[in-house]
Amino acid sequence: MADLVTRAKWDKAARNFDLMAGGGAEARWKPFKQKLFANMQGRILFLALGTGLDIPTFPPGQDITAIDISPKMLAQAAPRIAAYDGTIRAEVMDVHEMTFAPDSFDQVFTSCTFCSVPRPVEGLKALLRVLKPGGELFMFEHTGSRYLPFKPMMDLMTVLSRRMGPDMNRTTVDNVRKAGFRITEVENVFLDVVKTIKAVKPQA
Ligand SMILES: C[S@@+](CC[C@H](N)C(=O)[O-])C[C@H]1O[C@@H](n2cnc3c(N)ncnc32)[C@H](O)[C@@H]1O
């Protein structure tokens, strides 16, 4: 059944999303995202395209299938999709209910998503299903910290932040492992909070 609560939350966030997320932090993360997205090749799924803030950091010439649960986020992405020097086919779809055949993609990319997907391990298992054996997952994520004083602060912040948007305290690296991926690289971008994660779907 469609997750109307999550859709409504992100539809509501869409109008001000670029204002909130598109400023200083985005500029700061840009080189790290560019480096991660430079790995794009083959059949690519981009999960949670949002308003398309990441599109200017994609390498040109790719053929990308993109999904997001929120039609309003994707509507905001339309001009950035049109400006991309390659192909992006964007569809409204919940990661938990993807209609793609098993083993459809060589790679999945996503950024700042598994702070938001309501059932992260289930969502990651869904990605495993649509990736080919040996297929790669590339993530740019903010997660909870393991260290004081950040851990309790982020637990507290999450009580409020999840009402309007993301959780601040997710254990995303553990979740990737729990879903059945083999982690190949974790690189901290800011403290142990913002990071890139690379993982592989094990060969059958
Ligand atoms: C924090 S925003 C990030 C958007 C974009 N990746 C960026 O970095 O600008 C989180 C995105 O995840 C999407 N999302 C949340 N739950 C989802 C789900 N179950 N399936 C697909 N997309 C989802 C939201 O609609 C939103 O666009």
Burial class (CB in 10 A: 0-12, 13-18, 19+), 97: exposed
Look up tokens 């649960």; give the residue: 69
pLDDT at position 202, please?
96
The whole-angstrom separation of Cα 24 and Cα 29 is 9
The identity of residue 9, as a single letter, is K
pLDDT of the chain along its 204 residues, tens only? 679 999 999 999 999 999 888 677 778 889 999 999 999 999 999 999 999 999 999 999 999 999 999 999 999 999 999 999 999 999 999 999 999 999 999 999 999 998 888 899 999 999 999 999 999 999 999 877 787 788 778 778 877 877 776 777 778 999 999 999 999 999 998 887 789 999 999 997
What is the number of the ligand 1 atom nearest to the C-alpha of 110? 6
Q: Tell me how far the alpha carbon of residue 75 lies from the centroid of ligand 1, in angstroms.
A: 13
Q: Is residue 38 within 8 Å of 59, Cβ to Cβ?
A: yes
Question: Which domains occur in the chain, in start order?
Answer: 4-200 (3.40.50.150)
State how far the Cα of 52 lies from the Cα of 75, in Å rounded to an integer: 10
| 34, 68, 138, best to mutate for ligand 1 pocket (most atoms within 8 Å of CB) | 68
Calpha distance 120→56 (Å, rounded): 27
The pLDDT assigned to 125 comes to: 98
Q: What is the pLDDT of residue 1?
A: 65
